[in-house]
Structure 1
Amino acid sequence: SLHEWGDHQGAVAFLDKIVDSCPWDSDVRELRADCHERMGNLGKAIQDLKPTTKLRNDNTAAHLRISRLHYSLGEQDDSLTEIRECLKLDPDHAACLAHYRQVKKLSRQLEAAESLIAESRYDEAVAKLEAVKKTEASVAVYAARADERICHCLSKSEERTADAVRACSLVLDRDPDNVGALRDRAEAHIANEEYEEAVADYERARGVDESAPGVREGLDKAQKLLKQSQRRDYYKILGVKRSAKKQEIVKAYRKLAQQWHPDNFQSESEKKKAEKHFIDIAAAKEVLTDPEKRSKFDSGEDPLDPESQQGGGGNPWQRGGGGGGWHPFPGGFNPFGSGGPQFKFHFN
């Protein structure tokens, strides 16, 4: 009567006592499973239905119901296992066949997307994940899972970092403590050179789960890059992307070096301004064309900054001649060496 009146919690209180006395009564377990399902306790509903697959002969209805419950929870592998049990009992069962095709299609799409991600084929993975959302629009857990993986894929694409920030933000609107989405959005912010936002996301992720993979390392990297951005950014100096190849870097360097060579300027103030730009341009080329120095810079350390150097390996900044200023190139660096155009230039 309580079940019929909609008092499912009250009904369960009685049913618990009945099951204790009659654990093998399938009718009682199915009734309690229905109460649990209506209250949203899908896991408990599955626990009650499992024994009924043995207590009743050829209980295809229980297998189908369990499969649908697993599917609603986002457990497509368990759902697939259970629906196959239904088809073993009755290969022509129409409802089980229809559900099997639905689960199998979704499962294949998810597996294909994960395989593409493993192969770093992120754009193709995004297309497959969008298809997942169309395949199962009525079960929110699959759309949420697809959005989370789309966020991850886009964060790995250098050309779609702005899309990544938007996609990850959608995930975080639904689940503010999603560490994976926070980490992926932080990486997208780093690619966009939005270091303060990246630090904020990593700190938030650390607050949720300090031991989550990549959070500590990512926060350290973001903090270093933020500190570095407040000093000088060699990529910005040359006007190239962080993904630029050596050839692009050298080309940008030569163009800017010719533009800012002090010999091109007449007044003393203009020459001093040009000299500063010229030194920064040469320093940027020195760092970004050296794989080891560039790797250090990308990890948040300026290899030409004496304050960032540790240990007793010597100071890479040498005192220049004449005026005694600090020069980032030991032994007298010729920024137009290695086949580049030759300029007469002397540091005062």
Structure 2
Amino acid sequence: MTLFGSLHRTIYSLWLFLASLDLRLSEVECTSAAEIDRHLEMGVQMLAKGQLHDALSHFHAAIDGDPSNYLSYYRRATVYLALGRSRTGLQDLDEVIRLKPDFTAARAQRGGVLVKLGRLEEAHIDLENVKCPWDASLRELRAEAYEAVGDIMSAIADVRVITKLVQDNTEGYMRLSNLYYSIGDVEQSLSEIRECLKLDPDHKECFQFYKKVKKVNKFNNDAQEQLNNKEYEECIASANKILRDEPEEEEVRFLAYDKLCQCNTHVTPNQAITFCQKALNIKEEPRLYCEMADANIADEMFDEAVRYFQKALDIDENLQRAKEGLERAQKLKKQASKRDYYKILGVRRTANKKEISKAYRSLAQKWHPDHYDGEEKKKAEKMFIDIAAAKEVLTDDEMRAKFDNGEDPLDPEQQQGGPGGHGFNPFQHFHFHHGGFPGGGFQGGGFKFHFN
């Protein structure tokens, strides 16, 4: 019994000690909670007065007392950011969002810090998740993030909302105009900069940009109209004015390269190839590969044309222009090994009727059969027939179009007898007359030439 009574007294004493300890801990806990609140209150007061280091000390103490209070971290992060200590502030914001993932203000603030630190992909995620449609500052931050990662259309959408949220927002319209200009939409850029001038006709920056965009837009529209009207030299001149007025913005320069690619195809094909490549370096589009192929056809580089039409089809297998172009380039490649009327006259595939007629007169004068005797006369007759055939085909719009598509309109096998149901000879009753060519001096002997 003595042993049992001693053990009983020991257990009872231990219970009293633990109960007393628990009571004291409760008292400490209550005191600590009150002390934490006091530190938080003092920290906010110091922050409001601009006493940042004092505020920081109080927030340190509050966090030490309760590491699970997300507001303490958020307030300390605010102080760090005010002191310019972005990385330390970012660590506190990370902790805030870990403790309270739906705390929008912290997520928006972290997004802004990440933008400044250049961590754009992370910023984009934070700002994308911020759901506060009427907060212009948050939309501004998100627009910056979108722009930084290259999502210009999303940036435009946010800035457009900002122009509605902020009254007389000339800066918003200026920014919208710049964003549209950066993607080569000069027409819409001009429209937005006009809105800026409506709000403030004396806005210096808007007016300067307006003058530039207005000129570029005019040159681009002129070049397109001239291309449509087949005024290729004028189109080239207008496109070069775009390059003169915009030396840097690639998407705007693309507009000029595109026009120079298409218009030079009809004037200087090797120049067209250069500009087509410049355009492709900016935008790899199937249409541009077709333009490049057409330029190569005009430069009689049929293998290259086949390759570029095929590239267009690799991107868009249903592109009809590329399908038809590939077939045409393959026919022209095959045709090149036969009679080439352009080469016979020594003119470019882009030559106009005046150039073709001039080349014909010069060669006809040179190879007129009256100049030759014997075997040389037979050679001259054959050459003259080829020259006349070339002139006949290339000055007739319908026949030239067929030849440019890889068909010889004077080849009975290709035309199944051709016009009239048999091998067409446009020179069956061709007569030479004195003075019929520049310089005169020809006595036509009533030659009749027939294709062999």
Aligned counterpart in structure 1 of residue 416 of structure 2, from 285, 310, 322: 310
Q: Does 1:4 align with 2:113?
A: yes
Structure 1 segments unaligned to the other structure (5+ residues): 266-270, 318-327
Aligned counterpart in structure 2 of residue 120 of structure 1, from 202, 225, 230: 230
Aligned counterpart in structure 1 of residue 305 of structure 2, from 187, 195, 198: 198
Matches within 5 A, 1:317-328: 317=423
What amino acid is aligned across from residue 44 of structure 1 in structure 2?
S
* Map of 2:158 onto structure 1: 48
Deviation at 1:152, TM superposition (A): 1.0
* Map of 2:44 onto structure 1: none
Aligned equivalents of 2:345, 2:170: Cα separation in 1:
69
Aligned counterpart in structure 2 of residue 185 of structure 1, from 292, 302, 306: 292
Aligned equivalents of 1:91, 1:275: Cα separation in 2:
80
* Structure 1 SS opposite 2:167: coil
Aligned counterpart in structure 1 of residue 277 of structure 2, from 155, 158, 169: 169
Distance 1:208 1:338, change over 3 A: farther
Describe the superposition over 1:295-333 as per-residue Cα deviations: whole angstroms up to 9, x where unpaired.
54444223443431338988735xxxxxxxxxx869x95
Deviation at 1:146, TM superposition (A): 0.9
Aligned equivalents of 1:106, 1:234: Cα separation in 2:
41
Aligned equivalents of 1:174, 1:247: Cα separation in 2:
41
Deviation at 1:153, TM superposition (A): 1.1
Q: Is the 8 A contact 1:240 1:252 kept in 2?
A: no
* Structure 2 SS opposite 1:131: helix
Distance 1:241 1:59, change over 3 A: closer
* Structure 2 SS opposite 1:40: coil
Aligned counterpart in structure 1 of residue 388 of structure 2, from 258, 276, 285: 285
Alignment RMSD: 3.6
- Higher relative contact order by CA 8 Å / sep ≥ 6: 1 or 2? 1
Q: Does 1:134 align with 2:244?
A: yes
Report % sequence identity. 35
Aligned equivalents of 2:447, 2:217: Cα separation in 1:
68
Q: Does 1:222 align with 2:329?
A: yes
Q: Is the 8 A contact 1:74 1:142 kept in 2?
A: yes
Matches within 5 A, 1:203-214: 203-212=310-319, 214=321
* Map of 2:406 onto structure 1: 300
Q: Is the 8 A contact 1:64 1:82 kept in 2?
A: yes
Distance 1:254 1:189, change over 3 A: same
Deviation at 1:287, TM superposition (A): 5.7
TM-score in terms of structure 2 length: 0.61
Deviation at 1:156, TM superposition (A): 1.4
Aligned equivalents of 2:314, 2:371: Cα separation in 1:
47
Aligned equivalents of 2:217, 2:122: Cα separation in 1:
38
* Structure 1 SS opposite 2:248: coil
What amino acid is aligned across from residue 139 of structure 2 in structure 1?
R
Deviation at 1:173, TM superposition (A): 4.5
What amino acid is aligned across from residue 255 of structure 1 in structure 2?
K
Q: Is the 8 A contact 1:238 1:253 kept in 2?
A: no
Deviation at 1:230, TM superposition (A): 1.0
Deviation at 1:207, TM superposition (A): 3.0
**Quick check: 82-91 or 9-18, which moved more?**
9-18
Deviation at 1:24, TM superposition (A): 1.4
TM-score in terms of structure 1 length: 0.76
Counting helix residues as a fraction of each chain, which structure ranks higher? 2
Aligned equivalents of 2:162, 2:392: Cα separation in 1:
69
Distance 1:295 1:246, change over 3 A: farther
Q: Is the 8 A contact 2:220 2:255 kept in 1?
A: no
Aligned equivalents of 1:37, 1:224: Cα separation in 2:
47
Aligned equivalents of 2:346, 2:206: Cα separation in 1:
60
**Quick check: 160-169 or 6-15, which moved more?**
6-15
Deviation at 1:66, TM superposition (A): 1.7
Distance 1:342 1:72, change over 3 A: same
* Map of 2:431 onto structure 1: 337
**Quick check: 103-112 or 187-196, which moved more?**
187-196
Deviation at 1:68, TM superposition (A): 1.5
Aligned equivalents of 1:152, 1:313: Cα separation in 2:
34
* Map of 2:254 onto structure 1: 144
* Map of 2:64 onto structure 1: none
Aligned counterpart in structure 2 of residue 264 of structure 1, from 374, 389, 405: 374
Describe the superposition over 1:57-100 as per-residue Cα deviations: whole angstroms up to 9, x where unpaired.
22222222222111112122222222222222222222222222
Distance 1:329 1:80, change over 3 A: closer
Q: Is the 8 A contact 2:289 2:312 kept in 1?
A: yes
Q: Is the 8 A contact 1:249 1:289 kept in 2?
A: no
Aligned equivalents of 1:293, 1:50: Cα separation in 2:
55
Divergent runs of 4+, >6 A: 311-315, 343-348
What amino acid is aligned across from residue 249 of structure 1 in structure 2?
Y
Aligned equivalents of 2:390, 2:127: Cα separation in 1:
73
* Structure 1 SS opposite 2:308: helix
Q: Is the 8 A contact 1:109 1:132 kept in 2?
A: yes
Aligned equivalents of 1:206, 1:260: Cα separation in 2:
53
Q: Is the 8 A contact 2:346 2:359 kept in 1?
A: no
